[in-house]
Structure 1
Amino acid sequence: MGVSQRLKNRFRKFLQRPGTTVDLGPLSKRLDAIEAREEALKELDDAALTDAAREASDFTEICAVGREAARRAISQRPYDVQLLGAMALLSGRVAEMATGEGKTLTATIAAYGHTRLGNGPVHVLTVNDYLAKRDAEWMEPIYTLLGLTVGSVTEAMTPEERREAYAADVTYVSVSEAGFDYLRDQLVTDVADRVQRDLATAIVDEADSILIDEARVPMVLAGSTNTESDPVHEAAELVKTLRNGKDYEVAEDGRSVAFTEAGLKNVEEKLGGIDLYADDQVEHLSAVNVALHAHALLRRDVDYIVRNGGVELIDEMRGRVAQRRRWPDGLQAAVEAKEGLSATAEGEVLNTVTVQAYIALYKTVCGMTATAVHVGEQLREYFKLEVAVVPSNTPNIREDDPDRIYSAHDTRDEALVEEIKIAHDKGRPVLIGTLDVKASERLAEQLAEAGVPCHVLNAKNDAEEASIIAEAGAVGAVTVSTQMAGRGVDIRLGGSDEKDRDKVVELGGLYVIGAGRHDSRRVDDQLRGRAGRQGDPGASVFFVSLEDELVSRHAGDILPASPRMDMDGVVHDPQVDYAVEHAQRVAEGVNHEIHRNTWRYSVVIEQQRLLLAERRERLLTSEVAAIMLLEKSPEKAKETDEDVLSDAARAIALFHLDRLWADHLAYLSEVREGVHLRALGKLDPLDEFHRSAVPAFQDLLTKVEERTIETFEEVDLTDGWEPDRAEIVRPSATWTYLVHDNPFGSELDRLIAAVGRRLTSGG
């Protein structure tokens, strides 16, 4: 039997969205041929199927064999749309597939296909360790039947365990762990110490989150340093005594703060009568400013939580703890000081790569997500990736109501609680997405007062995330969640075992409510997509307040002074509807521009890092260092034992290359901060950055050679080679972390703002 007419009609509708997505027509034509292979493959025993899997070499056979392996191994026969998604991934595209359409199984067939097409090894990059481990274990029976090995990498693994996982045909790993392993591999002094193999193919799960939202996040490998100064704690104690409005003023957008003239004098007196703007007080000035920002602008349970004696940042896109992430520019230490915690060492940056640059190292990149079209232009701009929109297996019958907009938080929250209570009293499951941790806890308290029990899923209990979200479709369940929590986990009607499915279907399915619009439409769409999975009934609505930060920050100037509203406080005004949509578009535009600007600066750094990595690879895997010493220091080189010369030359050259690269990164960080001053003089900051970065890198390459020769000539090699003898001691400890965006711009931006405020106030 061929593809049904109903499915063909829906393919026709989805095959192409002009200007934004690719045509899936040529791929959909293969579906009949794939189905035609089904009966013959069913006749094979497992060993014969494995043999057939090893011979498959085109999309049709790959999908046919993959479908049969999935049917046998996990009792799931992939739908035609899943095979269409797999072919889109095999074509190097980002497949947009609705929530609940089976992306995990789709990726498995694509991973198998890429190995058969000679594109292995394959890394399936996930957003966290939980999904990497879960998906690898879940899909392992399929891979085994297909004659492939599969592994997963998690944070707690040893280098030996990581090496074994990466040796598999397919490896599931979070993008941050993969990036950290790459950075560590870039500093090995023996090839055998590496854990990763070639970066061949990446299948990116939740592609919009990783490729766009996380793209500019730097992954950092840091090393211990001897000097640790901490002027920030003193400054934090001082700013606690200051008063808003008298000693400092917060800007309307809530993103900057500056001392008043009186506040500045107060601070200078408390610091012993110093002039904070004197040349010798830069460290004090920086510490005081960063402490003020931490005190006045960063909010506990919104921007961060305090847990287990430490400050943990919250990822604003996911509403979850951002694992191993730090703010830059001393801001992390300032928040730790604000909360009365001891400072954690930032250490010296030994190497760094952004998520975007790391992904670009793979020869083949493809991905999947439920929300790709909104960022199609960015995927094309930064990764040369096209979006393929795959239709859902069954029509989406979810009812999406228009936003309910209220003039104030209070009336919105009252209406929200009442709406939840009505649904709960009927037994209908409700999932509510909030914008931050504080809002989720406040709503939970309001629901408790109204007699509605609920589960709270937020950054504070992410370990229970999967089990909580899996039961969000049970009869009477009320789940309050930060909006992106639980991504990657199915919500089945009637609970994870679906025992009460019929009852929940009768009640209208899962009811998703957004308590406010997010800065990104994609995040709202992901939340909405929790309901209506695989043709299930469901409904969604967003409750918005004109006091929400998104609206007040980005559309406050276009809101009508007296919007039309009914007796219940619900606003019915086309101008307000437009303002909310406008605010979201502006917020997305701002984030895109920040991404583009950051990317422009990182391009030259990444080019330099790649050039250095090539040079390092030659030093590590050849005798180029020994040859150089024979040329530049022939007398000593010829006196040295050949094996000793090889080992010493390699170790000394690698040490100086790594040492100078760390120094170069520190220098570029200073330059990046300082170019904003030059912008005041009508110079292009990016041009100025390049003007400093390019010659500095050329100087680095020269110095590597000079210092290698110098060290070689100084060290005594008569009794063999010992690194300690040459004083080339590497850091005693290394650790990894992600740099979280500084929410207030650069340190220098803040200093300029403070100086400007002081001058305009007559100081």
Structure 2
Amino acid sequence: MSLSPYKKIVKAAGELAGEVGKLGEPPRPPMDDLARFCAVAREAADRTLGLRPYDAQLLGTLALLDGKIAEMATGEGKTLAGAMAAAGHALQGRRVHVMSVNDYLARRDAEWMAPFYEAMGVTVGWVGQSSTFEERREAYASDVTYGAVSEIGFDVLRDRLRTDASRIIVPEPEVALVDEADSVLVDEARVPLVMAGASDAGDAVPEMAALARQLVRGYHYEIDDQARNVYLTPKGADTVENLLGVDLYDENEPGTLIELNLALHAHALLTRDVDYIVRDGKVQLINASRGRVALLQRWPNGLQAAVEAKEALAPSEKGEILDSISVQGLVRRYPRICGMTGTAVAVSEQLGEFYGLKVAVIPSNRPCVRIDEPDRVYPTVPDKDAALVEEIQTVHATGRPILIGTLDVAESENLAKLLQRRGLEPVVLNAKNDAEEAAIIARAGERDAITVSTQMAGRGTDIRLGEGVAELGGLYVIGSGRHASSRLDDQLRGRAGRQGDPGGSVFFVSMQDDLVTQFVPDERPPAADADGLVRHRRGAYLVGHAQRVAEGVNLQIHRNTWRYTRLLEHQRELILEWRDKVLHGDAAARALAEGDPRRWAELPEDTREETARQIVLHAIDRCWTEHLAFLTDLREGIHLRALGRMSPIDEFQREAVAEYKAMLAEVERRSLAAFDAPEPDLGRPTATWTYMVQDNPFGTEWDRIIKRVGSAARRR
């Protein structure tokens, strides 16, 4: 999109700089004059923060005020641009929720920008996991509220279950300003935020975990090309049936097959120190796009218990899901959405398709002089690792700081050991020592530094160059392999060359990397030259092709997931609209008075309206919880309809709509029954908690076995 209209405003703001700079105290800027707003915001930031926004930052601010996703390179000052835009939206009379990727960044940015907001006449607050109810109430009463996207989502879920209108703390959604927008809006769009209650112990399956350990790949089971599916061979099915004494493919008793599939997936497809770590006696998931521990996240559909059984850990508590909302559904509640990131163009199609958003590419304040070398491609992983260690040792001898980005925790630790054997002293940053992140990053740009990191160092961090480092060529970024998303590669490259600094980057890749073997398994790689490097252009093509295939697969998963969840989101909107009328008005009283006028007349006038309200709220909440459970079970088995040549999505929607209508009737029936009872049971869960569900990377259980059901039946 063209930036010409924004550039005209920025130019006009520059012409006002002298006039605004002479003012003793900048006035509250009129929002019908964006040039004057920019001039005042620039002066306020300069006086309160010691940061005078560049023209590029004002362009970003205007794009955000215009409801766009601003793509701004690393080090270009996205935090300040976002704060100026948030202040602008607030001065237009709209409440703004600035959604961050974690609590640390939300609090840091809110406190850092607070003096600027005060100068602009705007109030600001923040929420985090440790915030009390009163602190949350105060933060959401501010003009601008910073919070992790998950924390804001959890507060929305808590409010949905309030039975006292005065306890609702999250205001009506107006503006969402999303930091790291591609990560939140695309990578984590499918992640459900869950509110659960009625705690009980999880269902661990240690027997199945022990059985899975006895099975041999290639004989008892196989893994598909993309490592998204594991399935029993005919010999494996016979072995399991003999050991357990069951018919695995009895369609009337699918539980054993599902438990076995869960155990097999935990055993064969989820790897410790790659997909998760074990810390403090608990399984902690690793966010693949960030390399960090995904706090409060867990796998769905029994997979969490299967991994815990695999690691011989006590099962974590589980409970009935009272309500849930996906990150995509949460953000789409806001009538105005904008955001900023360093890598938006690559996902512009998804941002347009799922949110109706356009991308504005903001030019850098200073041209990027980083030297990005072509990939160095090797035939095998050992060849790549040997060359990688050699390159690190050679560059380190010059004193130039090096940041090596690895794909997972295990790889970061293995590479560190290889370097230590060469007498080098790398600093490792991964999900296991995330508490030391700030200190490690602060030293990563100093002379002689060697930092080995997962994708943790790829986002939200600025690495400043130490004294004399610019003369050595700046920070040298090395990727130990290509990610499944080109955006993650670009984020890693972006750690070097910030604000016109010198820097360099290169990726080491092998034809045996998981990206290549999973997504282009049938392609024959070209031979290496005498020095071990694959220089034939087909080598680089295969790597790029594999990455494009991986991105296409993930986009299709996103589309398919949204086809199922958008109906649920629509039903949730309808039920919440009804619930709000009950909570804030007299809808319950009118309905019950009309449904049972005799009983209504018997009740005390001063309490009967509140009694009616609590009865209907309880019925709505219970029936909605049961509806969610029904839809989960329905989706779990809906793909069996494909065997009957029916469309799974059409069948899902048909049954979900019918069940929703039945649920509405059931709410009325239960409400009247409770209203007529001498002492209605309005009990609610004694404890509730929130967590995020790691979107199951393998699909539903029936998705994974559907291909095998037909062959198993034929085998009999």
Query: Following the alignment from structure 1 to structure 2, what is the Cα–Cα distance between the partners of residues 229 and 42?
Result: 63
- Whichever residue aligns with residue 41 of structure 1, its letter is V
- Whichever residue aligns with residue 393 of structure 1, its letter is N
Which stretch of structure 1 is more off in the superposition, 100-109 or 152-161?
Answer: 152-161
Equivalence map 1:502-651=2 (5 Å) = 503-560=468-525, 563-651=526-614
> How many residues are matched?
716
Shift, 1:339, TM fit: 0.2
CA deviation map 1:135-190 (0-9, x unaligned): 11111111111122211111111221111111111111010111111011111001
CA deviation map 1:214-255 (0-9, x unaligned): 1111111111256x5736222212322333333333334322
Equivalence map 1:212-361=2 (5 Å) = 212-225=186-199, 230=203, 232-271=205-244, 273-278=245-250, 281-361=253-333
Query: Following the alignment from structure 1 to structure 2, what is the Cα–Cα distance between the partners of residues 259 and 482?
Result: 33
- Whichever residue aligns with residue 143 of structure 1, its letter is Y
- Whichever residue aligns with residue 349 of structure 2, its letter is E
In structure 2, the residue matched to 1:109 is: 84
Query: Following the alignment from structure 1 to structure 2, what is the Cα–Cα distance between the partners of residues 198 and 527?
Result: 37
Shift, 1:56, TM fit: 4.8
Q: Secondary structure at the match of 1:222?
A: strand
Query: Following the alignment from structure 2 to structure 1, what is the Cα–Cα distance between the partners of residues 369 and 483?
Result: 24
Equivalence map 1:663-678=2 (5 Å) = 663-678=626-641
* Among 383, 388, 392, the residue aligned to 1:416: 388
In structure 2, the residue matched to 1:158 is: 132
Task: Give the 3 Å change call, closer, same or farther, for CA 486–583 of structure 1 in structure 2.
Answer: closer
CA deviation map 1:58-96 (0-9, x unaligned): 321221111111101111100001001000000000000
The question of whether the paired residues in 1 share the 8 Å contact of 2:458 and 2:495 is answered with: no
Q: Secondary structure at the match of 2:312?
A: coil
- Whichever residue aligns with residue 226 of structure 2, its letter is D
- Whichever residue aligns with residue 644 of structure 1, its letter is T
In structure 1, the residue matched to 2:16 is: 37
Equivalence map 1:57-76=2 (5 Å) = 57-76=32-51
- Whichever residue aligns with residue 738 of structure 1, its letter is M
1:687 aligns with 2:650: yes
Shift, 1:489, TM fit: 1.9
Query: Following the alignment from structure 1 to structure 2, what is the Cα–Cα distance between the partners of residues 757 and 463?
Result: 50
- Whichever residue aligns with residue 623 of structure 2, its letter is L
In structure 2, the residue matched to 1:369 is: 341
The question of whether the paired residues in 2 share the 8 Å contact of 1:314 and 1:322 is answered with: yes
Task: Give the 3 Å change call, closer, same or farther, for CA 538–694 of structure 1 in structure 2.
Answer: same
Shift, 1:757, TM fit: 4.9
Query: Following the alignment from structure 1 to structure 2, what is the Cα–Cα distance between the partners of residues 362 and 745?
Result: 29
In structure 1, the residue matched to 2:96 is: 122
Shift, 1:486, TM fit: 5.4
Q: Secondary structure at the match of 2:580?
A: helix
Query: Following the alignment from structure 2 to structure 1, what is the Cα–Cα distance between the partners of residues 420 and 142?
Result: 49
Query: Following the alignment from structure 2 to structure 1, what is the Cα–Cα distance between the partners of residues 261 and 83?
Result: 50
Query: Following the alignment from structure 2 to structure 1, what is the Cα–Cα distance between the partners of residues 226 and 355?
Result: 33
Shift, 1:493, TM fit: 0.6
1:87 aligns with 2:62: yes
In structure 2, the residue matched to 1:18 is: none
Shift, 1:278, TM fit: 3.6
Query: Following the alignment from structure 1 to structure 2, what is the Cα–Cα distance between the partners of residues 743 and 31?
Result: 45
Shift, 1:755, TM fit: 3.0
CA deviation map 1:655-688 (0-9, x unaligned): 1101000100111111111210111222111110
Q: Secondary structure at the match of 2:532?
A: coil
Query: Following the alignment from structure 2 to structure 1, what is the Cα–Cα distance between the partners of residues 265 and 227?
Result: 10
Query: Following the alignment from structure 1 to structure 2, what is the Cα–Cα distance between the partners of residues 708 and 63?
Result: 55
In structure 2, the residue matched to 1:98 is: 73
The question of whether the paired residues in 2 share the 8 Å contact of 1:258 and 1:757 is answered with: no
Shift, 1:701, TM fit: 1.1
In structure 2, the residue matched to 1:149 is: 123
Query: Following the alignment from structure 2 to structure 1, what is the Cα–Cα distance between the partners of residues 406 and 386?
Result: 15
Query: Following the alignment from structure 2 to structure 1, what is the Cα–Cα distance between the partners of residues 248 and 371?
Result: 59
In structure 2, the residue matched to 1:744 is: 698
In structure 1, the residue matched to 2:439 is: 467
Which stretch of structure 1 is more off in the superposition, 281-290 or 312-321?
Answer: 281-290
1:491 aligns with 2:463: yes
Query: Following the alignment from structure 2 to structure 1, what is the Cα–Cα distance between the partners of residues 265 and 520?
Result: 25
In structure 1, the residue matched to 2:674 is: 711
- Whichever residue aligns with residue 96 of structure 1, its letter is E
- Whichever residue aligns with residue 749 of structure 1, its letter is D
- Structure 1, unmatched stretches of 5+, are 1-21, 495-499, 716-724
- Structure 2, unmatched stretches of 5+, are none
The question of whether the paired residues in 1 share the 8 Å contact of 2:290 and 2:458 is answered with: no
